[in-house]
Chains A and B, each alone.
Chain A
Amino acid sequence: MSDVEIQSAVKKYGRFTAVDSLDLTVSGGEFVTLLGPSGCGKTTTLRMVGGFVRPTSGRIRISDEDVTDKPPQKRKVGFVFQNYALFPHMDVARNVGFGLRMANRERSEREKRVAEILSMVRLGHLSDRMPSQLSGGQQQRVALARALIIQPSVLLLDEPFGALDKQLRDHMRVELRELQRSLGISTLFVTHDQDEALSMSDRIVVMSEGKAAQLGSPSEIYERPNSKFVAEFMGHSNIFDCLVEDVSKDGASISLNGVGFFTNSPSARKGSRMTAMIRPENIEFADSGEKRGDATVAATVAGMEYLGSTVQVTLSLEAGISLVARQTNTESATGSKLRTGQNVAVRIPPEAVRLL
C-alpha cells in the first residue's frame, strides 16, 4: 500500500527533458522532500502528481490507483501552491470550504468541517477575513487548511515557505511538520533550501537535471553524499579530486596534489582517482607546540569570516590547496583567535575525509 507511486516518469518539453525516468514511492505518512536547484525538475514532478502536467511516459499512482490520465479534480490531492493561490474574492471560510462545495456537500456539514479545520490551524477567529487582510503566515495556514479539508491521500507542497521571512519560515516549518505528523498524511515537499529539507524530511530526493541524484535520510544525504553534485549542493565546500595511494583494512591514504591524508572512508580502491570531501567542522587546529605525525598539515590563514555562532577560516595549504574550516565561536576555541597571515598546524582526522 503506497500513497504515491511515481513509476519511471518522464516529462519532455520539445527537446528539453524536465524529468528523466524518475521512480519514487511515498507511503505511510512519511514526509519526502524533492530537493534541488531551480530547473532540476522537482516542481514538474510535483505537478505531475498533482495532475497539472501530463507525463510524457511513465505512470503516476495515488492510493494504488493509476491516475496518470486523470485530471486534478479526480485525484484527491491536497496541493499547496508556492504563492498559496488563495481565491482573493472569497473570505477565509469560503476559501477553505471550496473543496466541499465542489463535492456538493450540505451547507451545514461544510460549515462544521470548515470550523473544525480552521481551529486546527488556529485561524477560527479569522474565518470572515479576506485573504488580502491576512499576514503571510496566516495565508499559508489557510492554504493548508483548504488543501486538507478534502481529506486528500497525499499532501503536495510547492515551496510553501518561499514567500515568508526567515523567522516566520522557521516557525511555520515546525508547525507544518507537527500538523502533518499528527494527521499522518503522506507528504511530498518541494524546496531548493537544504536546511528546510534536512530539518523536515523523513527522506530526501536530491534531483539534478530531471534525475534523482541521491535518495536517503537527511543524515545519509548530508554525511554521505554519493556524488560531487550532491556534496556541493548540500553546502560542502572542501571538495577535491584525489588519488588513492594505498588501501589498508583501517582505511586508505590519499593524495591531493601531493599532500597526503588518511581516510577511513570504505569505498576506496587503490590507484583510482576519486573525489574527496573534507568536512569543515571536523578540521582541528593543533596547538603550536604539539606536532603529532601524519595527520598534521602546515597551513597559513588566508582569511577569516565571522558568522556569529561559528567562525569560518580559509586555510592555504601547500600545493595551492585552499581549505575551509569551521569552528564554534567559543572563548576556548583556537580558531576564533587566529589572525590572517598566521601559520598554523591543522589536524584532519580520518573520519573527516570522505571519498565519493
Chain B
Amino acid sequence: MSDANQKFKAWWLLSPTLLLYSLTFLLPVLLLVVMSFAKFENSVTEFGFYLGNYRKVFGDGITLLIFWRTVKLSVYITVACVVLGFPVAMVMRRAGPRGRLWLLFFIVSPLLTSIIVRNVAWVLILGRSGIINDTLREWGLIASPLPLMYNSFGVVLAVVHVYMSFMVLPIYGALQAINPSTEEAAASLGASPLRVFWFVTLPQSLPGLAAGCTLVFILSMGVYLTPVIMGGNFVVTLPMLITDVVRNQYNWPTASAMSLMLLVAIGAMVLVSSVVQKFGGRH
C-alpha cells in the first residue's frame, strides 16, 4: 500500500487527463507560441521566426494602450472585491453554523449562475432604459439617462458581481484557519479590537487575501463576455481585441502574440503572488 513502487503505479490514473490536456491545453498553447512568431501576409500564415507580430503589438500604440486599460480595470475590480469581500468573510467567520451556510449560499450562488444571465440582469438595471434610469426619470430627477453602462463603471460593477466569491472564499478560508486564541491573547495584552484586527487578524489572513487577489486579477484579465455586454465598443479590453483579430481579420499570428502578452502578464502576477504568499507564510 504505502510502498514506493506501488505509489508510482498510482500515477497511471493520470493518463486520461494527461492525454486530454496534451490535446486541448498543452498543444494549443504551444501552437500559439509557435504562431506568434509566424508571418502573416495577404491572409497567408508563414511559419518561421519572425518578430514582427511583437513589434507591432508593442509598437502600434493601441495594443499597449488596451493592455494597460485591461490591467487598470483588473486592478479596480480586485480592489473593489477586497473592499466588499473582506467584511463579508469576517461576518461569515463569526456567524453561527446556520447563518454561515446561508451566507455561503448567497456568496456561491452568483458564482454558479451563468455569467451571461448576470450580465443580462445588469443590462436591465443599468441600461439606458434600465430600472435606475427609468425610475430617476419618472421622479423627474434627471432629464437624460445617466451613463451607467457602456463605460468602465458598468464593466467593473458587473465583473465584481461575477468574481466577488473568488475573493470571499479564500479570505474566509484563511480567517477560519486563525486560532482565535491568538486574538484573545492580543486582547488580554491590551489591544483594542481595531488593533487586534490590524496586528493579529489581518497579517494571519494575508495568504488568503493574496490568493483571492491573484485569482480575481487573473480572471479579470481574461474576461471577455462582461466587457462586451457592459462596455460595448466603448471599453475595449485585450481579450476583446484578440477575439476581433482572429474572428474578423483571421490574423492568427498577431492574435497569438497578444495572447502571449496576456499570458506573460498573468504569469507575472502568479509569480508576485507566490512570493508574497511565501513571505506572508513566514510571518
> For the complex, is A54 an interface residue (Cβ under 8 Å from B)?
yes
> Per DSSP, are chain B's interface residues mostly helix, strand or loop, or mixed?
loop
As a 0/1 sequence over residues 1 to 32 of chain B, the CB contacts with chain A under 8 angstroms (1 = contact) are 11100000000000000000000000000000
Residues of B within 8 A of A52 (CB): 1-2
Chain B nearest CB, measured from A156 CB (Å): 15
Inter-chain CA distance A54–B3, complex, in Å, is: 7
Task: With both chains docked as a complex, state the minimum distance between the C-beta of A52 and any C-beta of chain B, in angstroms.
Answer: 5
Q: Which of A25-79 contact B (CB under 8 A)?
A: 52-54
A residues bordering B, Cβ < 8 Å? 52-54
| Bound: A54/B2 CA distance, A | 9
What residues of chain A lie closer than 8 Å to B2, measured between beta carbons?
52-53
Q: Using Cβ atoms and an 8 Å threshold, which residues of chain A touch B3?
A: 53-54
| Cβ distance B2 to chain A, nearest Cβ, rounded Å | 6
Residue of A nearest to B5 (CB): A54
What is the CB-to-nearest-CB distance from A73 to chain B, in angstroms, rounded to a whole number? 11
A-B pairs with lowest CB-CB distance, top 6: A52-B1, A54-B3, A53-B2, A52-B2, A53-B3, A53-B1
Complex Cα distance, B3 from A53, in Å, reads: 7
Contacting residues, chain A, for B1 (C-beta < 8 A): 52-53
CA distance A52 to B2 in the complex (A): 7
Q: How far is the CB of A99 from chain B (nearest CB, A)?
A: 18
- In this complex, what residue of A is CB-closest to B6? A54
Residues of chain B within 8 A (CB-CB) of A53 are 1-3
Of all chain A residues, the one with the shortest Cβ separation from B1 is A52
A53 to B1, CA, bound (A): 7
Jot down 6 A-B pairs with beta carbons below 8 A, ordered by A.
A52-B1, A52-B2, A53-B1, A53-B2, A53-B3, A54-B3
- A8 CB to nearest B CB, Å: 19
How near does chain B come to A329, taking the closest CB pair, in angstroms?
A: 38
Q: How far is the CA of A52 from the CA of B3 in the complex (A)?
A: 9
Contact with A along B55-72 (1 / 0, CB 8 A): 000000000000000000
Chain B residue nearest in CB terms to A50? B1
Residue of B with least CB distance to A14: B4
Q: How far is the CB of A142 from chain B (nearest CB, A)?
A: 23
CA distance A134 to B228 in the complex (A): 58
**Shortest Cβ distance from residue B1 to the other chain A in the assembled complex, whole angstroms:** 5
Q: Which residue of B lies closest to A52 (CB)?
A: B1
Q: Give the Cβ gap from B122 to chain A, nearest Cβ, in Å.
A: 43
Min Cβ gap B5→A in Å is: 9
- Contact indicator per residue, chain B 114-146, by CB within 8 Å of chain A (1) or not (0): 000000000000000000000000000000000
Minimum Cβ distance to chain B for residue A7 (Å): 19
CB-CB nearest in chain B for A11: B3
Least CB distance, B55 to chain A, in whole angstroms = 53
How near does chain A come to B121, taking the closest CB pair, in angstroms?
40
A58 to chain B, nearest CB (A): 15
Q: How far, in Å, is B9 (CB) from chain A's closest CB?
A: 13
What residue in chain B is nearest A71 (Cβ atoms)? B1
Contacts of A54 in B (CB 8 A): 3
Docked pose: A52 CA to B1 CA in angstroms: 6
Q: How far is the CA of A54 from the CA of B4 in the complex (A)?
A: 10
Digit string of B37-57 for contact with A (CB within 8 Å is 1, else 0)? 000000000000000000000
Closest to B3 in A: A54
Q: In the complex, what's the smallest C-beta–C-beta distance from B10 to chain A, in angstroms? A: 15
A56 CB to nearest B CB, Å: 10
Question: Measured between C-beta atoms, what is the minimum distance from B198 to chain A in Å?
Answer: 40
Task: Write the nearest CB–CB distance from B174 to chain A, whole angstroms.
Answer: 28
Q: How far is the CA of A349 from the CA of B73 in the complex (A)?
A: 88
Closest to A53 in B: B2
